[in-house]
Amino acid sequence: AIRMTQSPSSFSASTGDRVTITCRASQGISSDLAWYQQKPGKAPKLLIFAASTLQNGVPSRFSGSGSGTDFTLTINWLQSEDFATYYCQQYYKYPRTFGQGTKVEV
Amino acid sequence: QVQLVESGGGVVQPGRSLRLSCAASGFTFRSYGMHWVRQAPGKGLEWVAVKWYDGSNEYYADSVKGRFTISRESSKNTLYLQMNSLRADDTAVYYCARDSLPNSSGWPLDYWGQGTLVTVSS
């Protein structure tokens, strides 16, 4: 199975910060990567697919980049509602695999 | 609007079986691949299984292969997960989720249910 490794696992940030989360795949996955946001007690929400395409309704302060094995999620001007856990997921090959998550805390 | 509602969770003893259901509405169920994803308490997301939109293929995580079976009944707009030989490490919230593009495979998950909790304990 393809292993997805996110970094960091967690970190503290403040409203207005620019935040960058990285995700590395153990083998090339082209651009078949999605980012999800999850808040406590809630289901995950799709933010970005195809590595850099914003899902409908997702604020433009979110952006994604990368291809092959290295990917990045960036949040510009962090808002209070952005404090959550973020997961990357490859959908290049089955079994689909998630990263371990990155918790963005106040 | 798209809705996915899971049911069937509960407390079950190790080695026993349980069947989860996911009732879908608001979209053409037979046109979308459907997945199960789980999350152990305080842990990350783990993809479990998929059933393709046309039922032609299904895939499983190594951790559940041979014990879990995914199925779908288009006449009832319902996805199932039959879980046998349950173990303590199967304890998790189980979500059903939909592929984001119809009549295809290999896409991310755009709609998720609220989840149903399965606790495996003696």
B42-93 pLDDT, tens per residue? 999 999 999 999 988 999 999 999 999 999 999 999 999 999 999 999 999 9
> Torsion over CA of A25, B38, B86 and B34, rounded to 10 degrees?
-90
Q: Mean pLDDT for chain B?
A: 96
CA distance B31 to B101: 9
Q: Is A78 in a helix, a strand, or coil?
A: coil
C-beta atoms of A1 and B62 within 8 A = yes
Across A83-90, average pLDDT: 97
Q: Kindly tell me if the per-residue pLDDT of A28 is higher than 90.
A: yes
Q: Kindly tell me if the per-residue pLDDT of B103 is higher than 90.
A: no
Nearest Cβ partner for A95 among B60, B97, B109: B60
Nearest CA in chain B to A6: B44
A21 forms beta bridges with A73
Nearest Cβ partner for B44 among A32, A45, A100: A100
**pLDDT tier for residue A92 given thresholds of 50, 70 and 90:** very high
Q: Is B88 in a helix, a strand, or coil?
A: helix
Which pLDDT score, from 0 to 100, does residue B19 have? 98
Across B33-45, average pLDDT: 97
Give 3-state DSSP helix, strand, coil % of chain A, rounded to 5.
Answer: 5, 50, 50
C-beta atoms of A38 and B45 within 8 A = yes
Residues ≥6 apart with Cβ < 8 Å to A81: none
CA distance A73 to A51: 9
User: Is A62 at the interface with chain B, CB within 8 A?
Assistant: no
- Give A102's contacts in chain B (Cβ within 8 Å): none
Nearest CA in chain B to A103: B44
Which pLDDT score, from 0 to 100, does residue B104 have? 83
A27: its two tokens? 């083998």
CA distance B110 to A44: 9
Q: Kindly tell me if the per-residue pLDDT of A41 is higher than 90.
A: yes
